[in-house]
A = this chain, B = another copy of it.
Amino acid sequence: MGRGKVELKRIEDKVSRQVSFTKRRNGLMKKAHELSVLCDVDIALFAFSPGRDRLYEFSTNNRSPPFEDMMGLKKNSTPFQDDKEGDPNDYTPPAKKQVHHATGYILQEDNKITTSRKMESLL
């Protein structure tokens, strides 16, 4: 997509890679959101950028117990419970029914449901 094809290999130019990451990450989150709504399924998506030590997350408000359990299991082993600096409202925003748990989420506008957080504390 875009002006040229793209080989499936790591983008070497740092700037381009970062730009591409931002664009594609948003696109992926949007698609995940659409899939969950259209097909009525639970979804959890995590993207971790080693270079920037930042975690991006998206997930439905898990409706099904099995899924919740599974995600719960994974999450429980999280070594970083939080670097959350008092974000009292990190739960289910208003207009958007779709959304995410996880600390420090950032709900931008319509199709930019994203959760991100610094992970320095983990290193």
Q: Which residues of B contact A41 (CB under 8 A)?
A: 21, 47-50
- How many copies of this chain? 2
| B47 touching A35, Cβ below 8 Å | yes
Residue in contact with A70 in the complex, picked from B20, B32, B122, CB distance below 8 Å: B122
A11, A45, A65 pick with most chain B CB within 10 angstroms: A45
Tell me, yes or no, whether A106 is within 8 Å of chain B by CB: no
Within 8 A of B (CB), among A64-102: 64-67, 69-80, 82, 92
- How many angstroms from the CA of A21 to the CA of B58 in the assembled complex? 18
- How many angstroms from the CA of A22 to the CA of B56 in the assembled complex? 25
Q: Which residues of B contact A63 (CB under 8 A)?
A: 50
